[in-house]
Structure 1
Amino acid sequence: MKETVSVTAIYNLSTGQCIHLPNVKTSTNLVKSYLGFDPIHKQFKVLLNTATPGVSDEHQVLTLGTPNHSWRNVKCCCISYCYPHSNDGICINGGVYYVAAVNMDPFVNAIVCFDVKSEKLRIVYKAKEYMRLGLGANMRPWSDSTLVNYKGKLGAFVGGGPWVGGAVTGQTTSFELWVLV
């Protein structure tokens, strides 16, 4: 049974304008949202992921500044299940990147990209290759990394040291910057 869930609002600090996003109908209250920008069409879009961990997920998108202010379902063609770890996504050159648990037999942590223009989801190939090759094997791949914009490219900070498992924390004794895209 689907219920209506409140999502969020977007506040423009420069203009003081606040846009309240429409509620979304979903079968769960686990909601993650990301703001992306399509530099070609100069459009902002919100990607929304609702999920029941390990069971199902739904992706919906909303284009801001259009008369039809409603959520549209997005089909995920390449990933059978994709649940984001957090709302910590980053938009770089028309792609929204975030870390998610994906069903790749078995479940793994991967970096997912939502192309804002085409509204398609994909796993970042280079990140997938790094996991397969076992690079960074002393960490849980990507789950504790911090995604950053490094000179217009996607990067991931990966920490090293005792008890950090890839996260960059106060106990981090070193870190690596992986440039992925």
Structure 2
Amino acid sequence: MRSRRQGKDRKTSSLDTGQHSSLPLPIDLMMDIFSRLSLKSTAICRCVSKPWSFLLGRSDFRDLRLTRSQARPRLLFVFVEGNKVFFLSSPQPQSPDHEMSVEADHHMSFSFDHPVKDVSTSVNGFVCVRISCNRLVNGRKFMVEESVMCNPSTGQSFTIPRMKTRKRAGIVHILGYDPVEKLHKVLGMISHRYGRTMEHQVLTLGGTERATTWRMTECGVPCKSSLQRQNICVNGVFYYIETVTDGSGDHVIVCFDVGSEKYSFVKPPKRKLYHQLLDCNGKLALVPMGRIYYFNSETVKMWVLEDPERQEWSKRVYRLPPMWGDVVDPQEWLVIVGVTGPNEFVMSSTYSADPFQVYYCNIDKETVTRVVIQGVGGLRNGRGYSIHTYLNHVEDVKLMEL
């Protein structure tokens, strides 16, 4: 009798509330099992019963699921066609040493009322989609930008609330993530006359009171804004390139710490930057914007920010392995989409094709490995359609509330 009662007490105490005591196993064990399921299976399990739905909505389950996903990051493929965005992902090979093929899962597609202008990189599982639309105000037509947050893992999407301003145009949003507090934040900037960014505000996304409140923050140095701004979030810091307003046309790299919400600035290695921003193993890296690599390309040039406080840069010039021209298809036009390890690049095309391929180029081992992504080319085929490839995508099952 005593052992039965103790077993019953252990079963009940493992749950947050008595109404969910019908779970057949201890809650820690069930969370461990569920965290290993695919997204599709997890979504189905939510609909099985109220106790399962309660369990899969717990914050500690979401954290466990996210931790497992971070240990096995994925490649995210974002396909843009007019007013629609399609999301697919596949396992991300870790330094493959032979040609291989992986299957891409079709996550979600989102449709908007207006054309898609830009799609951000994956920021801890979420993506920011920028769309443009016309609005009539007092009989006048304004071209305005709207930003929509999308979670390919859950299918959730929501429009970022309007900033506290009378301006209707020239608003820029940048998405970032604070790894310490585990919060997504949006940095909003408003472009005034002559393109100067005069107002900077921050919005915290989540289920708290602060979620719907924009807060003012000071940039410190006026810059000219660009709606086509290159930006990236690396280890909790925004980086983006701006033009200083001293008439020289020189560039500066603006750094915004997502956690402290403080600005700093880094002097770039060149006065004028036309470069793409990359995450190079936790460091900011610059590669020439629009640089296309063919089967007969020979070198890759990159600047890496070694020490942000001392503003120290290192210039790296990598010679592609001799086997490069034998592995890469002569019809391929490749761009660098990321860095996966010491001296290892990942390259892919910016247009859909069947088959769709990514290339791992390891400078140390002098190897070039082709990885065929099954299912991407079959979605859309033709050089009229653009596709973005992002590394280190994680599956976050958190549902945000605004």
After TM superposition, the score normalised by the length of structure 2 is 0.36
1:176 partner letter = K
Rounded to whole Å, the distance in 1 between the matches of 2:260 and 2:303 is 26
1:40-79 matched pairs, under 5 angstroms: 40-52=180-192, 54=194, 56-57=196-197, 58-65=199-206, 66-68=208-210, 69-77=212-220, 79=221
Distance change >3 Å, CA 17–CA 53, structure 1 → 2:
same
Rounded to whole Å, the distance in 2 between the matches of 1:120 and 1:154 is 18
1:156-171 matched pairs, under 5 angstroms: 156-158=286-288, 167-169=290-292
Check conservation: 2:147, 2:159, Cα contact below 8 A. Answer: yes
Alpha-carbon displacement from aligned partner over 1:69-100 (angstroms, at most 9, x marks no partner): 121111112x1334246243110001011111
Q: Which residue of 1 aligns with 2:157?
A: 18
Rounded to whole Å, the distance in 2 between the matches of 1:50 and 1:20 is 17
1:136-151 matched pairs, under 5 angstroms: 141-142=272-273, 144-151=274-281
Q: Which residue of 2 aligns with 1:178?
A: 303
Rounded to whole Å, the distance in 1 between the matches of 2:282 and 2:276 is 16
SS across alignment from 1:7: strand
State percent identity of aligned pairs.
Answer: 33
Rounded to whole Å, the distance in 1 between the matches of 2:202 and 2:147 is 13
Rounded to whole Å, the distance in 1 between the matches of 2:270 and 2:228 is 20
Alpha-carbon displacement from aligned partner over 1:128-174 (angstroms, at most 9, x marks no partner): xx236xxxxxxxx21x200001111100002xxxxxxx642479985
> Which stretches in structure 2 are left out of the alignment for 5+ residues?
1-141, 307-402
1:80-91 matched pairs, under 5 angstroms: 80-84=222-226, 86-91=228-233
1:43 partner letter = L
Structure with higher RCO (Cα < 8 A, 6+ apart): 2
CA RMSD, 1 decimal: 2.6
SS across alignment from 1:14: coil
Rounded to whole Å, the distance in 2 between the matches of 1:123 and 1:61 is 18
**Of the candidates 171, 174, 183, which is equivalent to residue 34 of structure 1?**
174
Q: Which residue of 2 aligns with 1:114?
A: 256
Q: Which residue of 2 aligns with 1:7?
A: 146
Rounded to whole Å, the distance in 2 between the matches of 1:6 and 1:155 is 28
Computing the radius of gyration from Cα coordinates, the structure with the larger value is 2
SS across alignment from 1:54: helix
Q: Which residue of 1 aligns with 2:17?
A: none
Aligned pair count reads 158
Rounded to whole Å, the distance in 2 between the matches of 1:89 and 1:55 is 18
> Which stretches in structure 1 are left out of the alignment for 5+ residues?
133-140, 159-165
After TM superposition, the score normalised by the length of structure 1 is 0.74
Distance change >3 Å, CA 180–CA 26, structure 1 → 2:
farther
Higher percent of residues as helix: 2
Rounded to whole Å, the distance in 2 between the matches of 1:114 and 1:76 is 9
Rounded to whole Å, the distance in 1 between the matches of 2:166 and 2:202 is 13
Check conservation: 2:173, 2:186, Cα contact below 8 A. Answer: yes
Rounded to whole Å, the distance in 2 between the matches of 1:70 and 1:7 is 17
Check conservation: 2:188, 2:201, Cα contact below 8 A. Answer: yes
Distance change >3 Å, CA 11–CA 92, structure 1 → 2:
same
Rounded to whole Å, the distance in 2 between the matches of 1:21 and 1:87 is 18
